[in-house]
Amino acid sequence: MTHAHTSQHAASHGSKDALFQGLVIFVLLAFLTAVEFFIAITNASVLLLSVAALLKVGMVVYYYMHIYKLLEEDDEHDHSSFAWKVATNRLGLWLFLLSDAFVFGGMFVARFNLLGFTRPHLNQELGLIVTSALLISSFFMNRGETQMALGDRKGFLISTSITFLLGLAFLLGVVFVEWPEAIHEGLTVDGSAAGGIFFLMTGMHAFHVLTGLIFLLVILRNGWLGLYSPERHWAVEAAAVYWHFVDVVWIFYYPALYLIGKAL
Amino acid sequence: MTQSSSTSTGNLNRALLFFLIGTLLGLALGVGLHTAISGGFNTTYWMDIPSWMLGLLLGTLGFFYGLLGYYGIVRGLVFQVVGTLAGILLVSAIRAALGLSFFDPAKFGFHEGAWVFGALVGAVAFLAGVGALTDWWKWAKGEATSDHHEDVPGWRKYFGVSLDHKVIGIQYTVTSLLLLSVGGLFALLFRVELAESGLQFLTVLTPDQTAALNLYNSLMSLHGIVMIISILLGIAGVINYLVPLLIGAADMAFPRLNAFSFWVAVPAAVILLGSLGLGGFDTGWTGYAPLATRAPIGIQMFYLGVWVAGWSSILGALNLIATVLRMRARGMTAFRMPILVWASVATSIISLTATQLIGLSFQMSMFERLFGMPFFNVAKGGNPILFQHLFWFYSHPAVYVFVLPGLGVISELLPVFARKPLFGYRWVALSSIGIALVGFLVWAHHMFTSGMNEYLRVPFMYSTLLVAVPTGVKFFSWVATLWKGKIEAPTPMLFVLGGIVVFLMGGLSGPPNATVSTDLHLHDTYFIVGHFHSTMFGGYVFPFFAAIYYWFPKATGKRLDETLGKWHFWLMTPSFLVLTLFMMRVGLLGMRRRIADYDPMLGFDPWHLAMTIAAFLIALSVVIFFYNMVKTLRSPVTETGNVWNSRSPEWQVPSPMPAHNYEKEFEVVGEPYDYGLPGSVYVKM
């Protein structure tokens, strides 16, 4: 039973096709982000921006976070088996993400309650750069997880390290470049509700990026020590899914903060 | 046996002695600090609430140290105190380095940010100290941990981290009963003040009238939130203990997360009660902005305490859903699950998701105070109504979190004592889910008078009235189950029947509040208070006591005394009915809620006096219950079999429940509630 499950598990990742699929998804994500930016500077249609964001999220959730694994047939009854534990852990992780999504959803709703279809004046180039960093990091995260499943430990370490560096670049970009610039432009923490909600949304997201970076450090260290195998690397999958979730949040927050509505 | 009981008596005496010493030490320390800061001594310092809170903290610490030595919860509390101080000093040092003010004797010494950060660090330190994070830390380092942890035998295991869901269930339940007593004590204190118009009682406890009014507000606010946390822990106790047994699992899906969920609630309770030492808060448990932005620092401890306790609720719900989805016995399809399991899942759906929104609303209000983020400040483009939307998005469904497991207990116990199948099983099962889902769409009925957009009123009125449909399904099922049953009425059944009657009163007094036209009159009156207490007693308190009386023999092998149980019930029920009906009456006549004093010309004095007496009688009945528990626990094991002649699997094995539950997995082969049908079988052991 366990053996059959493992081979099925390997089969879903077990070819170079998985790496290629990751690349295709990334190209589509990048293209849609460019389209979003184009929509924003031409007609700023909220409908089109929402459609683009939903398409992006759908692709990340399905191909990078492989949500379909939740529904995979699982007739493992031995509660001490690895297969059963991974399937249960996966369910637990997704329930946690569902819960976490309600915080981000609450801030998203609060943003529209407070600002309606206006948005703070922000540096567009900077926004696009940090967004790209996070999106590219998701590509490398997916690549790292796939490489681990294929048994390529060195590749996993390289890809995950790139993910870490891009994530760090995003975090530093938001906190040490974007925030001072926004404050310099008059969007202060305590000056207006717009400033408050901008710092709350980006701050809470940055906090999640920070925790994601810590998880990445953990799997980098343990991967370096050779504690994961192609069959047993739940921690890698969990860190990857969490990392993509943080990306999914930003896919909504980027248009909500930078693109939708009239700049104040 | 004799030896161990004499040792524990010795421990208890030592614990009480240490409690006394700790309390006096804390009190003296507080008074000493006050004297040092203000540069002179004044005898009123002995009445300082902060000093008394410090005394209680050190006293509690001393009590547990005397009982256990440096173990479990003692380590946690020591870590929490040290962590809090470290956090406070860190923020103060940073503020000093930046040239900002970091010490203000008039405002509890340190800057508000230092207190908040300190309390947060303290909560994390508690978890590290008690040992709830140990295994996860090992996992992060790549070390394996064993699947099964054997607990130490005896009572010590209840005071440290245990991974056994039954131990955790009892930890939850006992903590819940403790907080119930604390919250009840607060109620008694302000109920005495309300017994007569004017201010007579709280002024005795405080140096001046303003302080008395502040104390009233804080007690009233804390009564609300302490009871809510108590209820959340109580249902978590019932769910944790029972659901794995009912579905035939060896434990919850994530035992370490389960222990974490319980232990995170303990520092949360400490922080919450700590608010009383930092000036309390005067907003009620709703903590509405913009009043909250002007409240004393105590409100930050209230916000933070609830926020931390929220994680207990969220992670417990996550665990429960995963457990039910993944660990049911063979043959237990969805429509063969016990109703209590359905109700627990429904409750958990709300806890898992909506809790985040009260967390967010409190966090935003905290940030408004700490960083000046003007979310709720109209002058800077904020919107105070936003707070109410976010707050009630959780806090209305929260009442379904409180009552659904209780209603599940009622449906679970009725067929056992009526010896008849549960009427309309499928409808009852789905009604829990129905209430939970409709519950997500009703929150703004708390805001009919808030000044929100008027077009929102009617849709929220109808969605609220819609809740009556699935709730009505439950009532029809209960009545039809009782119909022509062979009813027996031992104590658990009395509480079930009492719960049904009281919850009916809570239910019937609901629609007038849901209907906009009548709510405009009733809003913020004692009518709401009466309605709310009826729903909480009927939906939670009565079923919770029923569950304790019913499953006590399962957990301990000892049955609670019937005579004392009947005293408990027959004292509590009429007293509660007097309390709630009089609340509704004075409310209809215009008695405002949340106030310390009222106009004697309204003629409410005798009604309030009766309510206060009723409240004390309820307290007396609960004291009888506690006495019953202690007395029974000291008696030898007698009840090891199927005490209530139940079909449920947990009663088919010996009591108290063995450490790893069922020796062999059972299989579900029939319907759960086919009582009185010849030849029907539910589980094959």
A103 and B353 in contact by Cβ < 8 A? no
Return all residues near B366 (Cβ < 8 A) that are at least 6 apart: B116, B300, B303, B304
Question: What is the Cα–Cα distance from A130 to A178, expressed in whole angstroms?
Answer: 9
Say yes or no: ipTM exceeds 0.85. yes
Contact status, residue B285 vs residue A63, Cβ threshold 8 Å: no
Contacts A201 to B, Cβ<8 Å: none
pLDDT at B678 (0 to 100): 85
| Residues spanned by the domain of A131 | 2-263
Give DSSP secondary structure letters for B586-610: HHHTTPBSS-S---GGG--HHHHHH
Is B371 in the A-facing interface, judged by CB distances under 8 Å?
Answer: yes
Contact status, residue B393 vs residue B443, Cβ threshold 8 Å: yes
Q: How far is CA B66 from the centre of its chain?
A: 27
Contact status, residue B491 vs residue B548, Cβ threshold 8 Å: no
Kindly state the tokens that stand for B321.
Answer: 């859903």
**Among candidate residues A21, A23, A29, the one with its CA nearest the CA of residue A251:** A29
Kindly state the tokens that stand for A227.
Answer: 């504690």
Return all residues near B550 (Cβ < 8 A) that are at least 6 apart: B413, B492, B644
B389 and A107 in contact by Cβ < 8 A? no
Contact status, residue B111 vs residue B87, Cβ threshold 8 Å: no
Contacts A195 to B, Cβ<8 Å: 373
- pLDDT over 70 at B15, yes or no: yes
Question: What is the Cα–Cα distance from A2 to B120, expressed in whole angstroms?
Answer: 43
| Whole-Å CA distances, B513 to B316, B332, B441, B448, B474 | 32, 40, 16, 10, 21
Rounded to the nearest angstrom, the minimum Cα separation between A30 and chain B is 31
Contacts A197 to B, Cβ<8 Å: 373, 375
Contact status, residue B266 vs residue B205, Cβ threshold 8 Å: no
- Provide mean pLDDT across the span B73-80: 95
Mutation test of the interface with chain A: which of B257, B353, B394, choosing the one with the most A Cβ atoms within 10 A?
B353
Contact status, residue B39 vs residue B189, Cβ threshold 8 Å: no
> Phi and psi of B683, rounded to 5°?
-120, 145
Return all residues near B551 (Cβ < 8 A) that are at least 6 apart: B241, B242
Kindly state the tokens that stand for A96.
Answer: 């946690």
SS3 B462: helix
Question: What is the Cα–Cα distance from A23 to B3, expressed in whole angstroms?
Answer: 71
> Phi and psi of B591, rounded to 5°?
-75, 120
Q: Which of A99, A114, A218 sits opposite B356 (nearest CB)?
A: A99
Give DSSP secondary structure letters for A138-203: HHHHHHHHHHHHHT-HHHHHHHHHHHHHHHHHHHHIIIIIIHHHHHHTT--TTT-HHHHHHHHHHH
pLDDT at B477 (0 to 100): 96
Cβ count within 10 A of residue B487? 14
Instruction: Return the HEC string of A202-225.
Output: HHHHHHHHHHHHHHHHHHHHHHHC
Which residues face B109 on adjacent strands?
A: B104
Burial (0-12, 13-18, 19+ Cβ within 10 Å), B518: middle
Contact status, residue B117 vs residue B305, Cβ threshold 8 Å: no
Is A222 in the B-facing interface, judged by CB distances under 8 Å?
Answer: yes
Question: Low-confidence residues of chain A, pLDDT below 50?
Answer: 1-13
Instruction: Convert the pLDDT of each residue in B472-521 to its tens digit.
Output: 999 999 999 999 999 999 999 999 999 999 999 999 999 999 999 999 99
Q: Find the CATH number of the domain harbouring A204.
A: 1.20.120.80
Question: What is the Cα–Cα distance from B622 to B179, expressed in whole angstroms?
Answer: 13
A200 and B381 in contact by Cβ < 8 A? no
Question: What is the Cα–Cα distance from B103 to B110, expressed in whole angstroms?
Answer: 5
Q: Which of B318, B373, B380 sits opposite A95 (nearest CB)?
A: B318
A88 and B322 in contact by Cβ < 8 A? yes
Q: How confident is the model at residue B7 (pLDDT cuts 50, 70, 90)?
A: low
Instruction: Convert the pLDDT of each residue in B353-373 to its tens digit.
Output: 999 999 999 999 999 999 999
Cis-peptide into B290, omega within 30 deg = yes
Mean pLDDT of chain B: 92
Number of domains forming the structure of chain A? 1
Query: Which one-letter DSSP state was computed for residue A122?
Result: -
Contacts B258 to A, Cβ<8 Å: none
A199 and B373 in contact by Cβ < 8 A? yes
* AA identity, residue B467: V
pLDDT at B201 (0 to 100): 92
Q: How confident is the model at residue B571 (pLDDT cuts 50, 70, 90)?
A: very high
End-to-end CA distance of chain B: 33
SS3 B296: coil
Kindly state the tokens that stand for B341.
Answer: 């399991």
Contacts A83 to B, Cβ<8 Å: none
B326 and A91 in contact by Cβ < 8 A? yes
- pLDDT over 90 at B38, yes or no: no
Contact status, residue B72 vs residue B155, Cβ threshold 8 Å: no
Question: What is the Cα–Cα distance from B310 to B562, expressed in whole angstroms?
Answer: 37
Rounded to the nearest angstrom, the minimum Cα separation between B335 and chain A is 20
pLDDT at A4 (0 to 100): 41
Rounded to the nearest angstrom, the minimum Cα separation between A226 and chain B is 10
Kindly state the tokens that stand for B582.
Answer: 């009089």
Question: What is the Cα–Cα distance from B176 to B470, expressed in whole angstroms?
Answer: 28
The stretches of B98-143 forming alpha helices (DSSP H) are 112-130, 134-140
Query: Which one-letter DSSP state was computed for residue B525?
Result: B
User: What is the architecture, at CATH level 2, of domain B157-668?
Assistant: Up-down Bundle (1.20)
Question: What is the Cα–Cα distance from B66 to B68, expressed in whole angstroms?
Answer: 6
Q: How confident is the model at residue B8 (pLDDT cuts 50, 70, 90)?
A: low
Kindly state the tokens that stand for B37.
Answer: 């800061």
Return all residues near A24 (Cβ < 8 A) that are at least 6 apart: none
Mutation test of the interface with chain B: which of A90, A91, A102, choosing the one with the most B Cβ atoms within 10 A?
A102
Instruction: Convert the pLDDT of each residue in B585-628 to its tens digit.
Output: 999 999 999 999 999 999 999 999 999 999 999 999 999 999 99
- As a residue count, chain A comes to 264
Question: What is the Cα–Cα distance from B345 to B432, expressed in whole angstroms?
Answer: 9
Question: What is the Cα–Cα distance from B338 to B412, expressed in whole angstroms?
Answer: 7
Is B325 in the A-facing interface, judged by CB distances under 8 Å?
Answer: yes
A79 and B250 in contact by Cβ < 8 A? yes
B367 and A196 in contact by Cβ < 8 A? yes
Task: Specify the DSSP element, H or E, that contains A262.
Answer: strand A262-263
Instruction: Convert the pLDDT of each residue in A144-162 to its tens digit.
Output: 999 999 999 999 999 999 9
User: A5-36: string of b/e by CB count within 10 Å (b at 16+)?
Assistant: beeebeeebbeeebbebbeebbeebeebbebb
Please report, for chain B, the start and end positions of each structural domain, with discontinuous segments joined by +.
Answer: 1-69, 78-142, 157-668
Question: Packing angle between helix B526-536 and helix B562-588, nearest 10 degrees?
Answer: 160
A193 and B390 in contact by Cβ < 8 A? no
| Whole-Å CA distances, B348 to B227, B338, B341 | 19, 16, 10
Which residues face B667 on adjacent strands?
A: B330, B684
Q: Which of A106, A113, A225 sits opposite B356 (nearest CB)?
A: A106
Is A70 in the B-facing interface, judged by CB distances under 8 Å?
Answer: no
pLDDT at B199 (0 to 100): 92
Q: Which of A98, A114, A189 sits opposite B352 (nearest CB)?
A: A98
**Among candidate residues B461, B460, B475, the one with its CA nearest the CA of residue B505:** B475
Neighbouring C-alpha atoms within 13 Å toward the C-beta of B229: 37
B372 and A113 in contact by Cβ < 8 A? no
- A-facing residues of B in 388-447 (CB < 8 A) are 389-390, 393
Burial (0-12, 13-18, 19+ Cβ within 10 Å), B156: middle
Q: Minimal Cα distance from B250: which residue of A? A: A79
Output the CA torsion sign for B418, B423, B429, B430: negative
Contacts A96 to B, Cβ<8 Å: 318
A110 and B374 in contact by Cβ < 8 A? no
Is B352 in the A-facing interface, judged by CB distances under 8 Å?
Answer: yes
Question: What is the Cα–Cα distance from B208 to A69, expressed in whole angstroms?
Answer: 65
Is B366 in the A-facing interface, judged by CB distances under 8 Å?
Answer: no
Instruction: Convert the pLDDT of each residue in B533-563 to its tens digit.
Output: 999 999 999 999 999 999 999 999 999 999 9
B380 and A191 in contact by Cβ < 8 A? yes
Contact status, residue B516 vs residue B455, Cβ threshold 8 Å: no
Is B364 in the A-facing interface, judged by CB distances under 8 Å?
Answer: yes
A95 and B322 in contact by Cβ < 8 A? yes
Pairing of strands B109-110, A118-119: unpaired
pLDDT at B679 (0 to 100): 83
Burial (0-12, 13-18, 19+ Cβ within 10 Å), B204: exposed
A107 and B367 in contact by Cβ < 8 A? no
Mutation test of the interface with chain B: which of A76, A77, A183, A190, choosing the one with the most B Cβ atoms within 10 A?
A190
CB pairs under 8 A between A and B: 104
**Among candidate residues B558, B564, B555, the one with its CA nearest the CA of residue B625:** B564
The stretches of B147-208 forming alpha helices (DSSP H) are 165-194, 202-205
- pLDDT over 90 at B258, yes or no: yes
SS3 A21: helix
- B-facing residues of A in 91-130 (CB < 8 A) are 91-92, 95-96, 98-100, 102-103, 106-107, 110, 113-114
B375 and A200 in contact by Cβ < 8 A? yes
Give DSSP secondary structure letters for B246-261: HHT-SS-S-HHHHHHH
**Among candidate residues A12, A211, A233, the one with its CA nearest the CA of residue A97:** A211
Question: What is the Cα–Cα distance from A213 to A220, expressed in whole angstroms?
Answer: 10
